[in-house]
Structure 1
């Protein structure tokens, strides 16, 4: 905390609308399928903010949002979650959207169409009222946009280490320019991604080898999410990864599970929990979220505490002990 004030979470990039559909399977090229259960809600960076806000953390959306129906949906959902917005609606268009197709086994596939959130349009990140201890989140969507990504990277590099930066490169990790990666990697205080993203970024999904192929700060927290197994945690460059297991659940929809994990992880670390305990809490939140249909299904703090209380306790194991 800075001067007694608790840390706040800011996101400066992608909050867009999720158009969600349940599908029996993905259509083949040139084909079609009949979807069901269609819904529209705020998505992208909103899911991280909502997950952290439900844990009691103050959250601020400092990105752009549009003047059409998608922007209106985003503002309504932010207001419902108590997430503050910094900017007024943009005058040059609507927010973007993401088509989310969810198959019967809970796996999801995305197609994204950026909107006003992808452009700077005169914004100055330096004007944000950050204070020591605050945390900024950036996703791979933010960093891959041609205008937004370099601006975020340069801003990150200029800020003092008292401001935390959490990076989740997400599915677009391979689209982030090398010049942007070279700036954000050393500045990140927390880097979290899944095995597929690690493979795309570093050429390996090995939890020990992947961070060695990156340019992270020696004191950065590295988290490699491994689905139902849990997450590997590396707290410093000279330590071995630790596997923090996840509670066993039946998945119905994996949409937003990584966002839930990131948001709860940020809130847990900001509350003073150590890395392994914070990741265990994030694992439980992500596990609970996949038992619910929809994008922003992170539990609130009370529901998460109840779930952790009844979940089977699993021992923490070193990566070398895992087959």
Structure 2
């Protein structure tokens, strides 16, 4: 990789998103009419890398695109955002693709076809060993094969953050290597083989069942819950008008990684991420909605249920 090593390395997916506005999200067996289709850059890895770059963070993306013109455009778009793509491989076939339906309230349903993301194998990740080992934070998701995520975790010497989306069964070896796990309610429930939690207390109880050092559960319009040991912190977001929630979770993960790279305590990092994610839902699209640092800092801080309690990021000895 040319130049200085990045503060944050994102290991994950790159997609071409087809966004369609609908009056209501389709139910099984139902055909509905949608608005004009709009092609946008997406993929959880790419979205999180763009979120970091928009915040001014030095960031590199480890992943893969295809050999088609769509893939070439996605790579150019990432580079234009300031993401280092030296470790973005090109493989035969199409790019990953996602179809995103968005209803008038901003809620979405997404179907993903892996494409080139399925070719992100452990050997590809290991080629970026020096960057992974030198990064302050490594951030991964699950739109690439799990064994590639494990390879990234094994190479990490800083803080390893995993966004377990979409939720799939994870080997205990991987979970034990996670410093900060960032699921939403549904993903948390699937990881714990439980019913989706209805209350903050139920979220905390499920989070404690996981062997990770710390868990930050994104709660949509209810903000986020930080759980580490006996400490539970509920951070409520500032009031905003949601236009499109696509990419909000990715914005949260990127902003969390950004703040952790600066050495902020986990609760403070999560509070910054809550503000960034709240701002992102006010703009349509995923990557297009990622805010700058200046935009985030003008928002009021989220309400903190336990302001007297501060904790550092737990970090297990590897």
> Contact 1:13/1:138 (CA < 8 Å) preserved in 2?
yes
Structure 2 partner of 1:292: 283
Q: Secondary structure, in 3 states, of the residue corresponding to 1:214?
A: coil
Shift in Å, 1:124: 3.6
* 1:110 pairs with 2:117: no
Consecutive unaligned residues in structure 2, runs of 5 or more: 308-318
In 2, Cα distance between the equivalents of 1:120 and 1:315? Answer: 39
Q: Residue in 2 aligned with 1:276?
A: 267
Q: Would you say the 8 A contact 1:7–1:135 is kept in 2? A: no
- Cα distance, 1:115 vs. partner? 0.6
Q: Are residue 221 (structure 1) and residue 196 (structure 2) matched?
A: no
CA apart distance, 1:91 = 4.4
**2:226 aligned partner:** 233
- Tell me what 2:173 maps to: 183
Query: Match of 2:164?
Result: 169
TM-score by length of 1: 0.84
The answer to whether 1:64 aligns with 2:64 is yes
Change (3 A) 1:303 1:126: same
* Correspondence for 1:15: 14
TM norm structure 2:
0.85
What SS does the aligned partner of 1:269 have? helix
Listed one character per residue, the Cα deviations across residues 35-71 of structure 1 (whole Å, up to 9, x for unaligned) are 2242212212111011111111111111111121331
Contact 1:157 1:183 in 2 (8 A): no
Structure 1 contact 208–240 (Cα < 8 Å) conserved: no
Distance in structure 1 (CA, Å) of the matches to 2:183 and 2:223: 12
Matches within 5 A, 1:1-323: 8-44=7-43, 45-87=45-87, 90-120=90-120, 123-128=123-128, 129-130=130-131, 131-142=133-144, 148-153=145-150, 155-156=151-152, 158-159=154-155, 162-170=157-165, 172-173=166-167, 176-177=168-169, 180-202=170-192, 203=194, 205=197, 206-216=202-212, 220-234=213-227, 236-237=228-229, 239-296=230-287, 297-306=289-298, 308=299, 311=300, 315-318=303-306
Structure-1 separation of matches of 2:302 and 2:148: 43
Q: How many residues are treated as equivalent by the alignment?
A: 294
* Residue segments in structure 1 that go unaligned for 5+ positions in a row: 143-147
The answer to whether the Cα contact below 8 Å between 1:101 and 1:110 also exists between their aligned partners in 2 is: yes
CA RMSD of aligned residues (A): 2.3
2: distance between equivalents of 1:208 and 1:187?
20
